[in-house]
Amino acid sequence: MSSVIDGKSVAATVLEECRAEVLELKARGINPGLAVVLVGEDPASQVYVGSKVRTCGDLGIHSQKIVLPASTSQEELVAVVRELNADPSIHGILVQSPPPKHIDEEAVVRAIDPRKDVDGFHPENVAKLALEDKTGFVPCTPAGCMRLLAAAGVKTAGAEAVVIGRSMIVGKPMALLLMAKGSDATVTVAHSRSHDLPAICRRADIIIAAVGRPEMVKGDWIKDGAVVIDVGINRIEDPSKKSGYRLVGDVAYDEVAPKCSAITPVPGGVGPMTIALLMKNTLQAARQLGSATS
Ligand code: GUN
């Protein structure tokens, strides 16, 4: 039987750590601030941005929510980012992904001051992660997955870890974190061109599913006793729900759970961790920028 890794409870612990750190920073005269920029009206992004701002409020972190129309030009968005770079009340800047199609997301990320890049997407922070330089920002979702593994008592050293998905937001940084010194896993990164994904997964002691395909990982892909972290948050139609949809992960939970030693649910697994680690990163930015200027 598997144990269910309760992301809400682990996230609550992280948020309590943050609450204490906010007080400590404020006592030193540093008032942490996060700006969240949303371009367009993607319904899922609206929900995520709302939760990020609400969580800031709960912790006493100053937040600024900037909602721009879908017609916003690349230049206008970069101008907003530059203003936030120059704003001393803002320590963290996040532009919610994905932006509308006409926006060059990479150029926007490069415009963010790397010292305020709490998403950890700027090339400087990507490099720092690869170099294991702890002054950089680690992307929130993979950092949250690592914290879930630790909270569940999962030993990563020497383990076979399979990351499904090679995105810059999750797959690549996840692989770097798992292989870093101290984690010491043997890491395989699988993706849409990988041959025989089920066979690759059957080798894994730890599977991180981050492909964005509803319930793709099946029960017979899982080695007995493996640990499964499901990063997927997919909306699928469900007429029995008031909203008309329900959320499922990238893992076929009902088939997979009985074979695992531990698994994260969707919702209530990785999702709450992403926000909690964003708060951590914002406080890291405030601490680093605060000590640089005081
Ligand atoms: N969209 C989905 N996940 C993320 C994230 O971690 N950061 C940003 N900026 N956008 C996202």
For the chain, 294 residues long, give each residue's pLDDT as a single digit of tens. Answer: 689 999 999 999 999 999 999 999 999 999 999 999 999 999 999 999 999 999 999 999 999 999 999 999 999 999 999 999 999 999 999 999 999 999 999 999 999 999 999 999 999 999 999 999 999 999 999 999 999 999 999 999 999 999 999 999 999 999 999 999 999 999 999 999 999 999 999 999 999 999 999 999 999 999 999 999 999 999 999 999 999 999 999 999 999 999 999 999 999 999 999 999 999 999 999 999 997 654
Residue 263 parent element (H or E): strand 262-263
Q: Which residues contact 211 (CB under 8 A, 6 or more apart)?
A: 164, 165, 192, 232, 250
Query: Residue 235: beta bridge partners?
Result: 247
Identify whether 258 is preceded by a cis peptide bond (ω within 30 of 0): no
Walk across the sheet containing 227-230 and list its strands: 3-4, 262-263, 227-230, 206-209, 160-164, 186-190
Whether 140 is in the pocket of ligand 1, judged by its Cβ within 6 Å, is: yes
Whether 260 is in the pocket of ligand 1, judged by its Cβ within 6 Å, is: no
Whether 169 is in the pocket of ligand 1, judged by its Cβ within 6 Å, is: yes
Query: Residue 164: beta bridge partners?
Result: 190, 209
How far apart, in whole angstroms, are the C-alpha atoms of residue 150 and residue 4?
A: 14
Q: Cα 259 vs. chain centroid, distance in angstroms?
A: 26
Instruction: Ligand 1 pocket test: pick from 95, 97, 170 the residue with the most ligand atoms within 8 Å of its Cβ.
Output: 97
pTM for this model (two decimals): 0.97
**The pair of three-digit structure tokens given for residue 280, joined into one six-digit string:** 């951590």
Query: Can you say whether residue 51 is alpha, beta or left, with left for phi > 0 and alpha for psi between -120 and 50 degrees?
Result: alpha
CA nearest ligand 1 atom 1, residue: 97
Q: Is 203 exposed, middle or buried (0-12, 13-18, 19+ CB in 10 A)?
A: middle
Q: Which residues contact 9 (CB under 8 A, 6 or more apart)?
A: none
Say whether 119 is catalytic: yes
How far apart, in whole angstroms, are the C-alpha atoms of residue 131 and residue 176?
A: 9
Q: Is the dihedral of CA 123, 11, 17, 57 positive or negative?
A: positive
Residue type, 257: A
Which atom, in ligand 1's list, is nearest to the CA of 94? 9
Given the residues 117, 119, 205, 250, select the one marked as catalytic: 119
Which atom, in ligand 1's list, is nearest to the CA of 140? 6
Q: Which residues contact 141 (CB under 8 A, 6 or more apart)?
A: 169, 170, 174, 210, 231, 270, 273, 274, 277
Say whether 46 is catalytic: no
CA nearest ligand 1 atom 4, residue: 97
Whether 281 is in the pocket of ligand 1, judged by its Cβ within 6 Å, is: no
Instruction: Ligand 1 pocket test: pick from 119, 126, 281 the residue with the most ligand atoms within 8 Å of its Cβ.
Output: 119
Whether 96 is in the pocket of ligand 1, judged by its Cβ within 6 Å, is: yes
Whether 210 is in the pocket of ligand 1, judged by its Cβ within 6 Å, is: no
Whether 97 is in the pocket of ligand 1, judged by its Cβ within 6 Å, is: yes
